[in-house]
A and B are shown apart, each in its own frame.
Chain A
């Protein structure tokens, strides 16, 4: 049985210009998530979180490496069916555009009608309207139905950390293009770059 998600030696490099090959940003990731799970993702703005999500859904092409969703290389799946394997929920998530050099008829079908991997990119959490509760229940339901959920939060309020602690079973931390995997909330807090990043919020709790 294949893992839910395998990110193998994935590299994405952005260059200064088409002819000036000076790298301006580099992202590297290599991790495996075997089973359905709710994975928290944190990291400063501009560290590469959204780029990683785009690489996992196949809307962005890697410079090297591959992404396997339940054994299927997402970049070899028909562009019009990639959202049946992985969905990236961002601000304008409803628009799905994929670019590919190869025509769809030469690529593989998704073999699924409902996405296996759900990537939530900084969903709007508002403590006043009660929707947080429904969203968290939805993440739990997806997981119980055998899906893999990523929840990317840029914590700037205490309750953001409460949400992550309540619902996420493991974590991915991204900083300056470096992706690290952590087995629990405590684990990620023991990781120095994550502690520095959360700094103020963690001391708020102590206070």
Chain B
């Protein structure tokens, strides 16, 4: 059984149907990609998987447990982290404060917080370890709004990792990034892949073809194709397109 599975998810908002029938599975230790044209239902699909929307029909299983319809914070506590398409950081706070706020240990101790978190060596060390993973060591005391856009994205991924998740969902991680920042992000994801199970929504197909172990293509609120980058690229129409040139 895969670490995370969705079975026949259907989602409608009144008379508007966004997800027709979506079944997906994400294997532990893999990088999975979800791609699709604008309006295909990718983000709604992500919201359903992480509990931000309740599916109208269908079931979602995480590590064999049914999490359908559970509150997002409960799903998060079970080990499912996510980033958002719009940056979700405390701009006025330092880089390291953003991470500390997301650490489960900080959240546990928050109720009895009688001293500054900066006196707590253990929290600091955990936060520095996360910053090391996302390549932001050395910038921990900078205000997060002073970071470059690419580094803010890395910090955001750090915030998702700080929760010590078993699976991380990233919503359009390359959005707004230039070519150089996208290359850096790809390198970052390559260093994280040995430690985490990662699922990315992307419409930068080249980015996904380079990084993902498996890709699901969503269109018309359904999974229209699925496979390894190699399998998807062998399609003759993909060969004929601009993507055919990607190695």
Contact = CB atoms under 8 A, between A and B. Distances in A.
Contacts of B242: 128-130
A135 B220 CA distance: 10
A114 B219 contact: no
Interface string B1-24: 000000010000001111011000
A94 B18 contact: yes
B244 A134 contact: no
Interface string A127-145: 1111111111110010000
Contacts of B237: 127, 130, 132-133, 136
B236 A133 contact: yes
Given A127-B241, A128-B242, A129-B242, A134 B219 contact: yes
Interface residues of A, number: 24
Contacts of B235: 130, 133-134, 137
A151 interface: no
B154 interface: no
B8 A113 contact: yes
Interface residues of B, number: 27
B220 A93 contact: yes
B108 interface: no
B224 A129 contact: no
A114 B221 CA distance: 12
A138 B224 CA distance: 5
A120 to B, nearest CB: 8
B243 A89 contact: no
Nearest to A129: B241
A167 B64 CA distance: 39
B224 A135 contact: yes
Contacts of A134: 217, 219, 224-225, 232, 235, 238
A156 interface: no
Contact of A127 (B21, B220, B240): B240
Interface of A, secondary structure class, is: mixed
A137 B222 CA distance: 13
A113 B57 CA distance: 10
B37 interface: yes
Contact of A94 (B8, B16, B225): B16
Interface in A160-204: none
B205 interface: yes
Contacts of B57: 113
Given A127-B241, A129-B243, A130-B235, A138 B17 contact: no
A131 B221 contact: no
A132 B219 CA distance: 11
A83 interface: yes
Contacts of B225: 133-134, 137-138
A67 to B, nearest CB: 21
Contacts of B15: 95-97
A114 B21 contact: yes
Contacts of A93: 220
B241 A138 contact: no
Contact of B238 (A87, A113, A130, A138): A130
A114 B243 CA distance: 32
B41 to A, nearest CB: 9
A95 B221 CA distance: 12
Please provide the 4 A-B residue pairs with the shortest distance between their CB atoms, ordered closest to farther.
A133-B237, A133-B235, A138-B224, A130-B241
21 contacts: A83-B17, A89-B220, A94-B18, A95-B15, A96-B15, A113-B21, A114-B21, A127-B237, A128-B241, A129-B205, A129-B243, A130-B238, A130-B244, A131-B217, A131-B219, A132-B237, A133-B236, A134-B219, A134-B224, A134-B232, A135-B224
Interface of A: 83, 87, 89, 93-97, 113-114, 124, 127-138, 141
Given A129-B205, A130-B235, 5 more contacts: A94-B18, A113-B57, A132-B237, A133-B237, A137-B235
